[in-house]
Amino acid sequence: MIGKLNNLIKKTGAPVCVGLDPDLGNIPPVLLKKAFDAGGKTLEAAASAVWSYNKTIIDHIYDLVPAVKPQSAMYEQLGLPGVAVFKKTIDYCHQKGLVVIGDVKRGDIGSTSAAYATAHLGKVELDGVLTSPFGEDFSTVNPYLGSDGIKPFLQVCAKEGKGIFVLVKTSNPSSGEFQDRLVDGRPLYEHVAEKVDEWGSGLMEDGYSEVGAVVGATYPEVGRTLRKLMPRTCLLVPGYGAQGGKAEDLKDYFNEDGLGAIVNSSRGIIAAWKKDAYASYGQEAFGEAARQATVDMIEDLKKAWQR
Amino acid sequence: MIGKLNNLIKKTGAPVCVGLDPDLGNIPPVLLKKAFDAGGKTLEAAASAVWSYNKTIIDHIYDLVPAVKPQSAMYEQLGLPGVAVFKKTIDYCHQKGLVVIGDVKRGDIGSTSAAYATAHLGKVELDGVLTSPFGEDFSTVNPYLGSDGIKPFLQVCAKEGKGIFVLVKTSNPSSGEFQDRLVDGRPLYEHVAEKVDEWGSGLMEDGYSEVGAVVGATYPEVGRTLRKLMPRTCLLVPGYGAQGGKAEDLKDYFNEDGLGAIVNSSRGIIAAWKKDAYASYGQEAFGEAARQATVDMIEDLKKAWQR
């Protein structure tokens, strides 16, 4: 799957992932009102608004970018109807040719981690019949439980030609509380990074590994170090835009071949209609605002990744 | 919620949690066959078998124990029909008076963690109407992202009178890869434990905190240390039975008042019908086998918790 992702990055000229985080506050009120008027103030109605919102965003950005990243939490908070829209969004993105990174941050041990890997990347066996439960292309995975939690994902990745992004250094202010603590004189995230490189060594495609790493845009000096520690790893970079990460800080997240990183933006694109810069579109044209914000982000990132 | 859990532990005389981990391999073949014959080899049919299985187990153990712990992964691997049974199981356990610990091991940052907390413990606001998406009583939470990931859960716990169990030291063999690494001369899990104590200090009920900790049964010496570092914390203890944890090793997981720990068993109870000791029940009487295994576990644990 990393080969497909890299090819799409080259084809679009955009190392960009659009985060589909449909928090209700990001959805234009006119869209929510329409849904509540039609279906009452129910989870079903809210989920139907999320679906219209997602579909419009996807229709406006699918030809510009290689990948999207639906954030599971935003769908789970709408209960079962929300989870149904998570699945519908994955399927629609696939129809549109996008790579889908399920931002689920799962992580458990042994047979439980195997079940998560099956749920999101694999196929469950029902008396000999194989069925795909959610069918993302990549999952984000939490490493706190160690190799026992990661290996079942690696097995599914090998079988299905899929990949994962392991949390190494997240973009949030308190990421340092545990991730930065010194172990043998070096921050814990460096030890995790070494494991990521090791876990990926058996899953290579065109020089890159199916085991990527989440490395926040908000700590550029850390990104530089981690780039070197994981030369064959694709970095999934949250924190650009809304959280303060800037394009010029991201130069060293990329390899010499211009690959090796994909930068995510969620609110900056899907809620562009709320930003002063795109206010002229108005809430009804939130799709056009999202498209323009995507074009602008790709242009901005050229500073970082073109050599 | 920790007050309710402690009261139920005292009432039942059983510091025991039954793990509802319905991996298909744990379900009696006769039950699966019936479901596949009726509904085809589909996710819907498999999920209906999980529901019958869970309901029978719950009907046979609800009066013996204070709590159950459905493991989200096992439901997610059956896609949407599986997630629907996760919700149905939570609701049914509430009808039966059980405390429900959602073993979801979520963890993210800021607004995303808030969405997970809302999904599993809180209520989502739909234009002024509050609705509970999944409605567990406790969630398990991963601490790797630091306080930013935990605080949104604390806010929801404070508002709803609910609780969390933070992963501190898990029961699996490779838990040491990161959790045991020395930071300032002490294992990382001790630093996490100190944070758990701090996070819980504002959420006390009858001497215990709404912020519990997951501490595996497989490392008794660690359990002893962690008990002292988190005196007001309830320990959720996986790894008893199938993973090798023994009752006599668990003495020091409990406080002098006989509270402070709840020991989980999943396969040991729900798949008791597969064990030699309970084989005489046969696969059709898996509910009776589960009940007897629960009675035996409670008896076994008396060595540990009665003083």
Under 8 Å between Cβ of B193 and B213:
yes
Q: Do A76 and B23 touch (CB under 8 A)?
A: no
Label each residue of B122-179 as H, E or C: CCEEECCEEECCCCCCEEEECCCCCHHHHHHHHHHHHHHCCEEEEEEECCCHHHHHHH
User: DSSP state, A272?
Assistant: G
CB of A233 within 8 Å of a chain B CB? The answer is no
CB of B195 within 8 Å of a chain A CB? The answer is yes
Distance between CA atoms of residues B232 and A250, nearest Å: 44
Report residue A245's pLDDT band, with 50, 70 and 90 as the boundaries. confident
Chain B closest-CA separation from residue A41 CA (Å): 6
B232 Cβ contact list (under 8 Å, min separation 6):
B197, B200, B204, B207, B208, B209
Chain B closest-CA separation from residue A11 CA (Å): 31
Return the active site residues of B.
Answer: 105
Closest partner CB to B23 (pick from A115, A142, A191): A115
Q: Do B145 and A170 touch (CB under 8 A)?
A: yes
Predicted complex ipTM: 0.96
CB of B179 within 8 Å of a chain A CB? The answer is yes
Indicate if the pLDDT at residue A307 is higher than 70. no
What is the pLDDT averaged over residues B283-301?
97
* Domain A2-305 top-level CATH class: alpha beta
Phi, psi of A274 (to 5 degrees): -90, -10
Distance between CA atoms of residues A222 and A190, nearest Å: 9
CB of B116 within 8 Å of a chain A CB? The answer is yes
Indicate if the pLDDT at residue B307 is higher than 60. no
Q: Do A144 and B179 touch (CB under 8 A)?
A: yes
Distance between CA atoms of residues A121 and A165, nearest Å: 12
Token pair of B77, please? 């691997």
What is the pLDDT averaged over residues B17-26?
97
| pLDDT tens digits for range A2-13 | 999 999 999 999
Interface subset of B 245-284, CB within 8 angstroms of A: none
Rg of chain B taking only CA atoms, in angstroms? 19
Indicate if the pLDDT at residue B306 is higher than 70. no
Distance between CA atoms of residues B11 and B139, nearest Å: 23
Distance between CA atoms of residues A227 and A205, nearest Å: 18
Chain B closest-CA separation from residue A29 CA (Å): 10
Closest partner CB to A178 (pick from B24, B78, B144): B144
Find the angle CA(A148)-CA(B220)-CA(B237) to the nearest 5 degrees: 65
Chain B closest-CA separation from residue A133 CA (Å): 4
Q: Do B167 and A178 touch (CB under 8 A)?
A: no
Interface subset of B 26-65, CB within 8 angstroms of A: 32-33, 36, 41-43, 45-46
3-state secondary structure of A215: strand
pLDDT for residue A242: 74
pLDDT for residue B154: 98
Q: Do B188 and A181 touch (CB under 8 A)?
A: yes
Distance between CA atoms of residues A290 and A27, nearest Å: 12
A6 Cβ contact list (under 8 Å, min separation 6):
A206, A208, A234, A259
Pairing outcome for strands A138-141 and A99-106: parallel
Under 8 Å between Cβ of B256 and B307:
yes
Mean of the per-residue pLDDT values of chain A: 96
**Residue of B14, B62, B4 whose CA lies nearest to B258:** B14
| pLDDT tens digits for range B109-121 | 989 999 999 999 9
Under 8 Å between Cβ of B103 and B69:
yes
Report residue A283's pLDDT band, with 50, 70 and 90 as the boundaries. very high
B7 Cβ contact list (under 8 Å, min separation 6):
none
Mean of the per-residue pLDDT values of chain B: 96
Pairing outcome for strands A138-141 and A129-131: unpaired
pLDDT for residue B243: 76
Nearest-Cα residue of chain A relative to residue B124 = A77
Q: Do A77 and B115 touch (CB under 8 A)?
A: yes
Least confident of A152-166, A170-184, B3-17, B201-215: A170-184
CB of A84 within 8 Å of a chain B CB? The answer is yes
| pLDDT tens digits for range B159-192 | 999 999 999 999 998 999 999 999 999 999 999 9
CB of B189 within 8 Å of a chain A CB? The answer is no
Return the active site residues of A.
Answer: 105
pLDDT for residue B242: 74
Report residue A304's pLDDT band, with 50, 70 and 90 as the boundaries. confident
Nearest-Cα residue of chain B relative to residue A169 = B145
Domain boundaries, chain B: 2-305
pTM over 0.90: yes
Q: What percent of chain B has pLDDT over 70?
A: 99
Pairing outcome for strands B138-141 and B99-106: parallel
Under 8 Å between Cβ of A105 and A167:
yes
Q: What percent of chain A has pLDDT over 70?
A: 99
Alpha helices in chain B (DSSP H): 2-12, 29-39, 43-61, 72-76, 79-95, 110-120, 147-160, 176-179, 188-200, 220-229, 267-270, 286-305
CA atoms within 13 A on the CB side of A248: 0
Taking contacts as CB-CB distances below 8 angstroms, the residues of chain B near A131 are: 41-43, 79
| pLDDT tens digits for range A201-218 | 999 999 999 999 999 999
Chain B closest-CA separation from residue A170 CA (Å): 7
| pLDDT tens digits for range A14-70 | 999 999 999 999 999 999 999 999 999 999 999 999 999 999 999 999 999 999 999
Report residue B142's pLDDT band, with 50, 70 and 90 as the boundaries. very high
Report residue B127's pLDDT band, with 50, 70 and 90 as the boundaries. very high
Chain B closest-CA separation from residue A154 CA (Å): 15
pLDDT for residue A65: 98
pLDDT for residue A306: 66
Q: To which residue do tokens 């899990």 refer?
A: B189
Taking contacts as CB-CB distances below 8 angstroms, the residues of chain A near B116 are: 73, 76-77
DSSP secondary structure letters along A226-246:
HHHH-TTPPEEE--BSTTSB-
B271 Cβ contact list (under 8 Å, min separation 6):
B26, B286
Taking contacts as CB-CB distances below 8 angstroms, the residues of chain B near A133 are: 43, 76-79, 82
Question: What count of CB pairs under 8 Å joins A to B?
Answer: 228
| pLDDT tens digits for range A59-108 | 999 999 999 999 999 999 999 999 999 999 999 999 999 999 999 999 99
Q: Do A126 and B79 touch (CB under 8 A)?
A: no
Token pair of B69, please? 């712990």
Taking contacts as CB-CB distances below 8 angstroms, the residues of chain A near B141 are: none
Taking contacts as CB-CB distances below 8 angstroms, the residues of chain A near B111 are: 23
| pLDDT tens digits for range B46-91 | 999 999 999 999 999 999 999 999 999 999 999 999 999 999 999 9
pLDDT for residue B246: 85
Q: Provide the angle, in degrees to the nearest 10, between the axes of the packed helices A43-61 and A286-305.
A: 50
User: DSSP state, B244?
Assistant: -
> Which residues lie across from A212 on neighbouring strands?
A165
CB atoms within 10 A of CB B277: 11
Taking contacts as CB-CB distances below 8 angstroms, the residues of chain B near A71 are: 108, 112, 115
DSSP secondary structure letters along A105-137:
EE---HHHHHHHHHHHTS-EEETTEEE-SS--S
Closest partner CB to A172 (pick from B109, B120, B171): B109
Chain centroid, CA B152 distance in Å? 20
Distance between CA atoms of residues A181 and B180, nearest Å: 12
